[in-house]
Chain A
């Protein structure tokens, strides 16, 4: 496919910590909400959606992600229009496809939808205000994650089998329903995994400390090779979800 855009990620202020690795792998970047996102890998012979259905790895770190924490957090977010269930370690889908991941009774990690408008997280950050003086209402506090957490997505029918090599938690679909969160260790790094299928394709979000993003990316890239996996762009994930 001829490329209509050939955006140099360095011209944008927001880039992934691993954008050089993505560029070296042949990524074509596009602007999403002011950031450079690896959209597709045009040089690859095989259709990207076919790769993603089998065993794909994508970097979504540039898309909006953040959170809120502390007593009153869930009540405050509910007043802002979010729908959050009672169980911890469950992710709840919001109106426009964003995810509210309940990591603990009073901690919510928010992930933007694949469209990447950032609307919900921007709106919540703008709405949250610290009361000028005590007694302050119990409404939690923001926990900015944009620059602290790398955000990858692992997709395809071989994902659970691949995770079994680098993670101790049983993520097979029958033991890990959609929306399940596993906060555990992946390739020896503390990580959160959230099952979030794309249409009928098995898929998991993978979040971990951004300072080790290159390390984790390399580990997962190595782990998917056994299953004939490959790096895929955001465009393929969007198509699978549609």
Chain B
């Protein structure tokens, strides 16, 4: 069976992992219309070549990042998400949110 290296648990059968979509920079939700937000959330670029993806080790619910070549299905590198995301994301209430309307 194909083996993937989980940054927390080490090498494991690929059947223990779930794919979580491409890693894409998040646009500013406050300045985006719903369609553009939906596109970012649900549509994948589906690139041929090396991509960065979210993967989850299911027995531990540990989410991490993998770099994978989608042409050869070769996993090049896996690492914790903390290597990419170093700061907390704070969401400001958007102009359309109910909290903002109350003000």
Binding site for B on A (CB under 8 A): 88-89, 103-104, 168-169, 182-185, 190-192
Contacts and interface: CB of A to CB of B under 8 A. Distances in A.
Interface of chain B: mostly helix, strand, loop or mixed: mixed
Counting from the closest, the 6 A-B pairs by CB-CB distance are A190-B59, A168-B13, A183-B60, A183-B59, A185-B16, A184-B59
A185 B14 CA distance: 11
A4 to B, nearest CB: 42
Contacts, number: 31
Interface of B: 1, 8-9, 12-13, 15-16, 57-60, 62
B3 to A, nearest CB: 9
Nearest to B58: A190
Nearest to A191: B59
A203 B8 CA distance: 24
B81 to A, nearest CB: 13
Given A88-B8, A89-B9, A168-B1, A185 B15 contact: yes
Contacts of A191: 59
Given A104-B60, A190-B58, A183 B13 contact: no
B10 to A, nearest CB: 8
Nearest to B15: A185
15 contacts: A88-B8, A89-B9, A168-B1, A168-B12, A168-B16, A182-B9, A183-B9, A183-B57, A183-B59, A183-B60, A184-B9, A184-B12, A184-B16, A191-B59, A192-B59
